[in-house]
Structure formats: C-alpha cells, structure tokens
Chain A
Amino acid sequence: MIFETVLITALCILMLAMLANLYRIVKGPSSADRVQALDSVGINLIASTAVFSVLLHTHAFFDLILLIGILSFIGTVAFARFIERGVVIERKR
C-alpha cells in the first residue's frame, strides 16, 4: 500500500518535471534549448516507463526502455547536426 503510494508520488514528480521541460520547449529562445528540453523529456519518459513497469509488476516494458533511449539519442544527434550544418546526412564530394 505504501509502496504503491510512493510509486504514484514518483510518477507525479516526473510529470511535474516534464511540465517544466514543456515550458522550456515552448518558451526557449533558441532551437538548441528546445532540442535539449525534448531530450530531457525523453529521459523522463524512460524513468516513467521503469516506474510503470514496477507499479504494474510486469516485465513487458523493458524493451521499451531501451527503444526510447535509442530513439531519443538518434533524434537529438540528428537535430544537432541539422542546427550545426544545415543538413543531417552529408553527401560525398
């Protein structure tokens, strides 16, 4: 009983963190701020998935943790290359 209460409290704290990051995504003056905050939201999503899998007591979401991590990293690197050079994949010359 106390264990479920603690887990739901942790989920509420993670939701507050995601809302704060959402404020930075909406307001951020440069696009690097927005990409950084989106990456942070992805990391908070990983933590929420872990908390949910403990709360529901299932092993089914562990693949999802790895998948969200990989997709968040690839998206962040692609956006950073786009900001830095204007293209994501460069052509050979």
Chain B
Amino acid sequence: MSGSGEVVGAILILMGAIFSLISAIGNVRLPDVYTRSHAASKSSTLGVLCALVGALLYFLISDGFFSIRLILGIIFVFLTAPVAAHVICRAAYRHQVPLAEQSVQDELKDYYMEDEILKVEDKGSLVTQGK
C-alpha cells in the first residue's frame, strides 16, 4: 500500500526537478530577457507543479492525509507565476531593454511609441491647466 505512493511520488518529484533544471539551463543559455523569461516562467512552473502534486499524492496514498494547504499552494503558484513573468517582461520592455540581435520583428514598438507620446502630451496639458 505504501509502495505505490512512494513510486508515484518519486516519479512526479524527479520529473519536477528535471523540469526545473531544464528551465535553469534555458535561463542561462538563451540570448535576451524575453526568451529567458519564456523559459523561466513556463518550465519552472510546470516543474514546481509536478513536485507539489507528487508530494500531495505521496501523503494522500501513504498516509491518507489530504492537505488543503498544498492544494492552495498549487493553485496559487499556477495562477501567479505567469502573471509575475508578464509583469517583469512588460517592465523590461517599458525600460527599453533591447531584444536579441537575431530577432526579426518587434510588433509592440509602434504601440508603445504612441503611448509614450500621448503620455507626454497629457502631462503637458496638465501643466498648462495647472498654470
């Protein structure tokens, strides 16, 4: 009875650790911040989800202990890791971190340039209204 829990937990935890290592290798080897964010967010999220599900199934099968905190942790990590990666990437783009040399197109460029100009005009109108 406890053997099957150990097998399931060991397989899921080892898979999660290997996914985390793949994400870290991508984080070292990829050329710019956006591709690194792609590797780091998706793959390490999948790795930590595999490890947490492995721990949950191990305790569920071997002890009969169902942890609601572990479920909450899984849902929270699943919801917030992509949001954190999105926020970091947007901050990097607004801060004008350059793309890699081999990237071929930048479709966001026009929108952000218009946005910056609008913002400057808004500030100018605010200053004149204040006077």
Tell me the A residues contacting B by CB distance below 8 Å: 2-3, 6-7, 9-11, 13-14, 16-21, 23-24, 30, 32-33, 35-37, 39-40, 43-44, 46-47, 50-51, 53-54, 59, 62-63, 65-66, 69-70, 72-73, 76-77, 79-81, 83-84
Q: B91 contacts which of A23, A32, A53, A65 (Cβ < 8 Å)? A: A32
> Is A10's CB under 8 angstroms from B14's CB?
yes
Please give the number of chain B residues whose Cβ is less than 8 angstroms from any Cβ of chain A in the complex.
52
Bound together, the chains give a CA A65 to CA B71 distance in angstroms of: 11
Please indicate the chain A residues that have their CB under 8 angstroms from the CB of B109 in the complex.
none
Interface-centre pick from A10, A24, A51, A63 (highest chain B CB count, 10 A) = A10
> Is A83's CB under 8 angstroms from B91's CB?
yes
Main secondary structure of the interface of B (DSSP, over half): helix
> Is A84's CB under 8 angstroms from B95's CB?
yes
Please indicate the chain A residues that have their CB under 8 angstroms from the CB of B21 in the complex.
13-14, 16-17, 20
Main secondary structure of the interface of A (DSSP, over half): helix
Sorted from nearest, which 6 A-B pairs have the closest CB atoms? A32-B92, A20-B24, A17-B24, A10-B17, A13-B17, A84-B91
Bound together, the chains give a CA A56 to CA B95 distance in angstroms of: 45
Tell me the B residues contacting A by CB distance below 8 Å: 6, 9-10, 13-14, 16-18, 20-21, 23-25, 27-28, 33, 36-37, 40-41, 44-45, 47-48, 51-52, 54-55, 58-59, 65, 67, 69-70, 72-73, 76-77, 80-81, 83-85, 87-92, 94-95, 97
> Is B10's CB under 8 angstroms from A6's CB?
yes
Bound together, the chains give a CA A84 to CA B21 distance in angstroms of: 29
Q: A3 contacts which of B10, B44, B70, B83 (Cβ < 8 Å)? A: B10
